[in-house]
């Protein structure tokens, strides 16, 4: 959701605070976060690659309402080995399809 909430929200609620570090994969600085947020906007999904809990991966996609306002997200959380090269694209497609079906 953060990728679609706008610069004001990002500045006020995220960048004005220290980045909490949970694992060695946690995003730790503004420039890395901005690159990640742009990738989310381009790809239509976000990936948590063991950034909060080692061994856990998550894929989420935004839910939009009128005029592309983000109101939520839908995602899947699995043990890291369960999201792999063999099924990654299929899982991403399923999550994005679900988000698109809910959006209006």
Distance from C-alpha of 4 to C-alpha of 71, rounded to nearest angstrom: 10
Task: Work out the average pLDDT over 38-53.
Answer: 97
Q: Which residue, chain included where needed, has tokens 């080995």?
A: 81
Q: What is the pLDDT of residue 47?
A: 97
pLDDT band at 36; cut points 50, 70, 90: very high
Distance from C-alpha of 51 to C-alpha of 24, rounded to nearest angstrom: 7
Instruction: Kindly report the pTM of this predicted structure.
Output: 0.89
The token pair that represents 25 in the structure block: 């994969």
Is the pLDDT at 103 greater than 90? The verdict is yes
pLDDT band at 68; cut points 50, 70, 90: confident
Q: What is the pLDDT of residue 65?
A: 94
pLDDT band at 2; cut points 50, 70, 90: very high
Fold of 2-102: Beta-Lactamase (3.30.450)
If you ran DSSP here, which 8-state letter would residue 21 be given? -
């Amino acid at each position: 959701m953060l990728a679609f909430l706008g610069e004001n929200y990002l500045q006020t609620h995220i960048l004005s605070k220290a980045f909490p570090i949970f694992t060695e994969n946690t995003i730790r600085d503004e420039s890395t976060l901005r690159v990640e947020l742009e990738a989310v906007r381009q790809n239509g999904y976000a990936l948590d690659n063991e950034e909060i809990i080692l061994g856990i991966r998550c894929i989420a996609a935004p839910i939009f309402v009128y005029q592309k306002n983000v109101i939520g997200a839908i995602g899947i959380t699995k043990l890291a080995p369960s999201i792999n090269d063999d099924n990654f694209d299929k899982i991403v497609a399923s999550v994005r399809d679900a988000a698109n079906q809910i959006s209006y």
